Structure 1
Amino acid sequence: MWYMPAARDPRSALVERAIDHLAERGTTDLTLRGLAAGLGTSHRMLIYHFGSKDGLLVAVAQEMERRQLAALAALREAPGADAGQVMRGMYRHLHDPALAPYMRLFFELYGRALRANEATQPLLAGVVESWLEPLVEFVTAAGVPPAEAAADARLCLAVARGLALDWLATGDDAALDAAAERFFTGLEQRWHDADRN
């Protein structure tokens, strides 16, 4: 299950409600007062906790990323899990139809940050880096030499996000499954060869 809430302090509770609200409605024409009404709170309370609408959107995106990192960690910690199982498990997780509204929201927020809005820059600061350390560790554990692990980790993240975006745009499960399997099989073969050398 992707939904892994943080501690239930008032700020975290608002973020959780905002994630569900925004996943259903998106961020187009979003106002702080309208969002506050949808969350059952006041705009003053949102300003108190997040500083601005953009501050709340950054908190939402960061919490969504935290949940996905937790999902990856759970797959890695499963008894007997190997690299192939983890990669395929994360692919299935990211292509769960129940996750689609949240993935759309993530890409929407990512796009807002890429428009060079100063208030959303904190999202860009961690949107790649927060994944690299656990992925480098994962790739290194699969037998990849440390000098190559960072590039492979970044490649895994780029492919995962690219496939997720393709899935949201096309819904072509068969084509995406074939592309993902080709990628996973190629990586496994290369990692196996590297481990033997």
Structure 2
Amino acid sequence: MPVSERREELLEAAYGYVLEHGLADLSLRPLAAAIGSSPRVLIFLFGSKEGLVRELLARARADELRLVGDVGAAPIGLDAAVETVWDWLAADEHRPLLRLWVEAYARSLVEPDGAWGGFARATVEDWLGVLAACQPAAERDSADGAAQRTLALAVLRGALLDLLATGDAERVRAALSVLGDARGDGIRRAVR
């Protein structure tokens, strides 16, 4: 098996491991044992533990964007986008990825250097890009449009933290519905 295939195989196995166990206390020895490798092989393939963590964070971002990428396929408006994204965020099967995202986001804020550096900023930019694609072109390029998608992202991020902390999806969904209204201009009104 060529090194690149083995590298990808081990990256996927390590990704599954960190989805279950998190990254905070990641140690190469237990990780390697769990995925059928050795610390020495992981260091050879990824350069260092930090290199592996960087790759895992990139893999998590790619997974997240792949899963929500369809949301930004058309200018559906921010209220519809918030509702669609929330349905994805609230799905039980996405909890491991979202817990990993929160862990990496927080860690990148307190450890801005090294493997974690830039993760929070990059994910903000990722999500703002998805939300911008949902806006009509005239809104997308305006300061008001930028403020609207920033508010939408802030609300979604806060709702996600609440959901992960409490598990109360019904209450959080009800809170999100306050932002929108029957005319679909809840975010636009909230910014003004």
Tell me how far apart the structure 2 counterparts of residues 170 and 181 of structure 1 sit (CA, whole Å).
18
Tell me how far apart the structure 2 counterparts of residues 186 and 163 of structure 1 sit (CA, whole Å).
21
Tell me how far apart the structure 2 counterparts of residues 143 and 112 of structure 1 sit (CA, whole Å).
33
Structure 1, unaligned stretches of length 5 or more? 1-7
Structure 2 matches for 1:58-69, cutoff 5 A?
58-69=54-65
Q: Which amino acid aligns with 1:109?
A: A
Tell me how far apart the structure 1 counterparts of residues 24 and 182 of structure 2 sit (CA, whole Å).
40
TM-score, normalization by structure 1: 0.77
Conservation of the 8 A alpha-carbon contact between 2:82 and 2:156: no
Conservation of the 8 A alpha-carbon contact between 1:14 and 1:39: yes
Tell me how far apart the structure 1 counterparts of residues 64 and 42 of structure 2 sit (CA, whole Å).
25
Q: Which amino acid aligns with 2:37?
A: T
| RMSD after superposition | 2.9
Conservation of the 8 A alpha-carbon contact between 1:23 and 1:105: yes
Tell me the percent identity: 32
Change (3 A) 1:124 1:176: closer
Q: Give the deviation of 1:141 after TM superposition.
A: 4.1
Query: Which residue in 2 is equivalent to 1:111?
Result: 106
3-state SS, counterpart of residue 185 of structure 1:
coil
Deviations 1:52-89 (A, max 9, x none): 223322322222222222222223438xx833443322
Q: Give the deviation of 1:116 after TM superposition.
A: 1.9
Tell me how far apart the structure 1 counterparts of residues 90 and 187 of structure 2 sit (CA, whole Å).
25
Is residue 95 of structure 1 aligned with residue 82 of structure 2? no
Structure 2 matches for 1:142-161, cutoff 5 A?
143=139, 146-161=142-157
Structure 2, unaligned stretches of length 5 or more? none
Query: Which residue in 1 is equivalent to 2:171?
Result: 175
Query: Which residue in 1 is equivalent to 2:129?
Result: 133
Is residue 54 of structure 1 aligned with residue 50 of structure 2? yes
Is residue 77 of structure 1 aligned with residue 73 of structure 2? yes
Tell me how far apart the structure 1 counterparts of residues 183 and 104 of structure 2 sit (CA, whole Å).
30
Conservation of the 8 A alpha-carbon contact between 1:143 and 1:191: no
Deviations 1:29-56 (A, max 9, x none): 3211221222222223322333322332
Paired residues, number: 184
Deviations 1:112-134 (A, max 9, x none): 22222521214234121222233
Conservation of the 8 A alpha-carbon contact between 1:58 and 1:123: no
TM-score, normalization by structure 2: 0.79
Change (3 A) 1:142 1:164: farther
3-state SS, counterpart of residue 128 of structure 1:
helix
